[in-house]
Amino acid sequence: MAVKKKALISGVTGQDGSFLVELLLKKGYEVHGIIRRASTFNTSRIDHIFQDLHADKKTFHLHYGDLSDANTIRKLIQKIEPDEIYNLGAQSHVRVSFDIPEYTANVTGLGTLRVLEAIKDYGESGGKKKIKFYQASSSELFGSTPPPQNELSPFHPRSPYACAKAFAYYTTVNYREAYGIFACNGILFNHESERRGETFVTRKITLGVARIAAGLDKKLYLGNLDARRDWGYAPEYMEAAWLMLQQAKPSDYVIGTGESHSVKDFVVTAFAAAGIDNWKKYVEFDKRYLRPTEVNDLVADTRKAAKVLKWKAKTKFAELVKIMVAHDLKKHGVEKP
Ligand code: NAP
Ligand code: GDD
């Protein structure tokens, strides 16, 4: 019987982590995830995987750890000896990073260094595996660089989060060049889903719309409606991440749909998908959701991913909004219009 490939995922309890586990298990991997100790349950996005797996629990394992704790990361890598590591863990909220910049730099920036150092030390101390590394880089790196953005576009980070991701990006490139580690940056543009965190704007809108449809809320409070994003569907983006580690050579790739829409477009489309006319009656401005520096417009130029990875986004904007609204309406017991 062929030996199963092993993957280790940080951020396994997040939106992307949950889709990546499903993908890798389907591909026959043994999957290990790092979870943080919390005083409440934080595994709601992956609980169903354990339930589905009751016949063969040996393919999915969780380990306590934290990206701020180098010692545990090192021990996990030495014990598990994964073929591939996907570093998805991060303080990933841009607005929040202005409130907790040092913590964000520690986890989102230095956390990446800690994983790469552990991989390097594993190799140098005679480890058998040539561990491949995926870094969850972000279109936030481009910041104020005008669209479309590709692998050669300059970075101009506009938040503590983006600055931390820039450190992580360059550290990944440096460990590839300095130590020959198979390390890739996936520069992913915004990707969403029915599992998206509830404080990111898309999910906040689809949940808000559903709560209004269910008669639970009267208003939805938002910040800047003019910002434009390239929004795609998260499960497809994890396929791209996996593909990057299956190539002959490590490299960095931009992943997105190639289209941008404003937050206002998202609002209008979401209310319409729920059959509610006159969105203006429900949406109020709240300056608390503004950022000290904003990223105005992101649009991916994905020609490299299309050529090398043969990857292309399938789910476009209108379909994405429909999926998320339908999910949240159902969650609130509202019949689709
Ligand atoms: P997410 O839903 O916010 O998930 C973040 C994950 O990181 C969670 O599992 C979280 O654990 C974990 N985490 C947070 N702090 C940690 C720490 N100190 N140590 C270990 N793990 C920690 O984010 P996502 O949307 O899935 O995104 C995945 C990655 O891609 C992130 O690095 C994000 O910055 C990056 N990214 C996302 C997008 C996007 O549009 N979604 C685009 C580009 C890049 P808890 O569940 O315990 O909080
Ligand atoms: N979160 C939030 N809440 N954003 C709002 C709101 C609101 O009430 N109102 C308007 N916005 C605007 C923000 O100002 C921003 O321009 C846009 O909506 C998108 O905000 P988020 O959904 O919070 O995502 P993001 O683009 O800042 O960051 C996400 O995508 C990055 C990739 O470009 C996160 O997933 C990052 O982790 C990721 O790297």
pLDDT at 337: 72
pLDDT at 54: 62
C-alpha 92 to ligand 1 mean position (Å): 5
d(CA 291, CA 233): 25
C-alpha 167 to ligand 1 mean position (Å): 16
Q: Which ligand is nearest to the CA of 292?
A: 2
CB distance 149 to ligand 1 below 6 Å: no
Q: Residue 8's beta-bridge partner residues?
A: 32, 85
Question: Do 242 and 29 meet the contact criterion of CB atoms below 8 Å apart?
Answer: no
What pLDDT digit, counting tens, does each position of 295-320 carry? Answer: 999 999 999 999 999 999 999 999 99
d(CA 187, CA 189): 7
pTM: 0.98
d(CA 304, CA 256): 11
pLDDT at 2: 75
The residues lining ligand 2, judged by C-beta closer than 6 Å to any ligand atom, are 92, 94-95, 138-140, 189-190, 199-201, 204, 222-224, 227, 229, 263, 289, 291, 294, 298
pLDDT at 125: 97
Q: Which ligand is nearest to the CA of 254?
A: 1
Name the closest-CA residue to atom 46, ligand 1: 13
Enumerate the active-site residues.
Answer: 138, 140, 161
Which runs of E-coded beta strand occur in 93-231?
Answer: 132-138, 183-188, 191-192, 220-222, 228-229
Question: Do 206 and 334 meet the contact criterion of CB atoms below 8 Å apart?
Answer: no
d(CA 192, CA 218): 25
The structure tokens listed for 30 are: 């043994």
C-alpha 278 to ligand 1 mean position (Å): 35
Question: Do 21 and 12 meet the contact criterion of CB atoms below 8 Å apart?
Answer: yes
Residue labelled with tokens 């109020």: 284
Name the closest-CA residue to atom 2, ligand 2: 201
Question: Closest ligand 1 atom, CA of 38?
Answer: 47
d(CA 129, CA 122): 9
Which runs of E-coded beta strand occur in 108-159?
Answer: 132-138
The structure tokens listed for 311 are: 């990857």
C-alpha 74 to ligand 1 mean position (Å): 20
Question: Closest ligand 2 atom, CA of 165?
Answer: 39
* Angle subtended by helix axes 317-331 and 201-213, to nearest 10: 50
C-alpha 247 to ligand 2 mean position (Å): 31
pLDDT at 310: 98
CB distance 63 to ligand 1 below 6 Å: no
Question: Do 94 and 48 meet the contact criterion of CB atoms below 8 Å apart?
Answer: no
d(CA 242, CA 255): 12
List the Cα angle 83/186/66 in 5-degree steps: 60
Q: Quick check: helix, strand or coil at residue 275? A: coil
Q: Distance from CA of residue 233 to its chain's centroid?
A: 11
Determine whether domain 6-192+233-255 maps to CATH 3.40.50.720: yes
- Exposed/middle/buried for residue 325 (C-beta within 10 Å: 0-12, 13-18, 19+): buried
Q: Quick check: helix, strand or coil at residue 331? A: helix
Q: Where are the domains positioned within the chain?
A: 6-192+233-255
CB distance 190 to ligand 1 below 6 Å: yes
d(CA 203, CA 193): 8
Name the closest-CA residue to atom 19, ligand 2: 201
pLDDT < 50 stretches in the chain: none
